[in-house]
Amino acid sequence: MRYDVVVPTLGRPSLRRLLEALAETAGPRPGRVIVVHDGLAGVELPNVAEVAYERLAGPRRGPAAARNVGWRASDAEWIAFLDDDVVPAPDWAERLATDLADLPGAVAGSQGRIEVPLPAGRRPTDWERNVAGLERARWATADMAYRRDALVRLRGFDERFDRAYREDTDLALRAERAGFRLARGSRSVTHPVPPADRWVSVRLQAGNADDALLNALHEDWRGRKEPRGRRGRHLAVACAGVAGVTALAFARRRAGVLGVLGWVAGTCELAWARIAPGPRTAHEVATMAATSAALPFAASYHWLRGLVRARRLLGVPGRPAAVLLDRDGTLVEDVPYNGDPARVRLLPGVREALDRLRDAGIPIGVVSNQSGVGRGLLTEAQVAEVNRRIEELAGPVGHWAVCLHRPEEGCACRKPREGLIVEAASALGVDPASCAVVGDIGADVGAALAAGARPILVPNGRTRPEERRWAPEVAADLATAVDRLLEGGR
pLDDT of residue 470 exceeding 60, the answer is yes
pLDDT of residue 24 exceeding 70, the answer is yes
Lowest mean pLDDT across 10-24, 212-226, 261-275, 354-368: 212-226
Q: Give percent of the chain above pLDDT 90.
A: 76
What is the pLDDT at residue 224? 55
| Between 270 and 60, residue with greater pLDDT | 270
pLDDT (tens digit per residue) in 108-130: 999 999 999 999 999 999 999 99
What is the pLDDT at residue 283? 96
For residue 35, name the pLDDT band (cuts at 50, 70, 90).
Answer: very high
pLDDT of residue 458 exceeding 80, the answer is yes
HSE-up (13 A, CA, CB side) for residue 456: 22
What is the pLDDT at residue 227? 57
**Per-position DSSP letters for 291-320, written without gaps between them:** HHHHHHHHHHHHHHHHHHHHHHHH--TT--
pLDDT of residue 395 exceeding 80, the answer is yes
Query: Residue 115: which H helix or E strand, with range?
Result: strand 107-115
Mean pLDDT confidence for 334-341: 95
Mean pLDDT confidence for 128-155: 92
pLDDT of residue 107 exceeding 90, the answer is yes
CATH of the domain spanning 322-487? 3.40.50.1000
What is the pLDDT at residue 159? 83
CB 174 within 8 A of CB 156: no
Indicate the class that CATH gives domain 3-194: alpha beta
Residues 78-109 as b or e (16 or more Cβ within 10 Å = b): bbbbbbbbbbbbeebbbbbeebbeebeeebbb
Mean pLDDT confidence for 4-17: 93
* C-alpha 45, offset from chain centre: 22
| Between 219 and 104, residue with greater pLDDT | 104
pLDDT (tens digit per residue) in 198-238: 999 999 999 999 999 999 888 767 655 555 678 899 999 99
Q: Which of 10-15's residues contact partners 24+ apart within 8 Å by CB, and which partners?
A: 10/37, 10/38, 10/39, 10/43, 10/84, 11/37, 11/39, 11/40, 11/43, 11/44, 11/45, 12/84, 12/85, 14/84, 14/85, 14/192, 14/194, 15/45, 15/46, 15/84
Task: Specify the pairing of strand 87-88 against strand 78-82.
Answer: unpaired
* C-alpha 112, offset from chain centre: 20
Sketch the domain layout of the chain as residue ranges: 3-194, 231-314, 322-487
How big is the CA angle at 123 (ends 121 and 128), to the nearest 5 degrees? 115
Q: List, in sequence order, every residue forming a beta bridge with 322; answer none if it has no partner.
A: 435
What is the pLDDT at residue 316? 67
What is the pLDDT at residue 42? 65
Separation CA 128–CA 133 (nearest Å): 9
The type of residue at 304 is: L
| Between 239 and 316, residue with greater pLDDT | 239
Average pLDDT, the chain: 92
Separation CA 58–CA 66 (nearest Å): 5
Mean pLDDT confidence for 282-286: 97
What is the biggest distance separating any 2 CA atoms in the chain, rounded to whole angstroms? 86
Instruction: Kindly list the catalytic residues.
Output: 326, 328
What is the pLDDT at residue 315? 63
Separation CA 299–CA 211 (nearest Å): 11
For residue 309, name the pLDDT band (cuts at 50, 70, 90).
Answer: confident
Q: Give percent of the chain above pLDDT 70.
A: 97
pLDDT (tens digit per residue) in 401-449: 999 999 999 898 999 999 999 999 988 878 888 899 999 999 999 999 9
What is the pLDDT at residue 418? 92
Mean pLDDT confidence for 56-85: 90
What is the pLDDT at residue 488? 76
Burial (Cβ within 10 Å: 0-12, 13-18, ≥19) of residue 230: middle
| Between 159 and 127, residue with greater pLDDT | 127
pLDDT of residue 259 exceeding 70, the answer is yes
Lowest mean pLDDT across 42-46, 77-81, 152-156, 403-407: 42-46
Lowest mean pLDDT across 37-51, 120-134, 441-455: 37-51
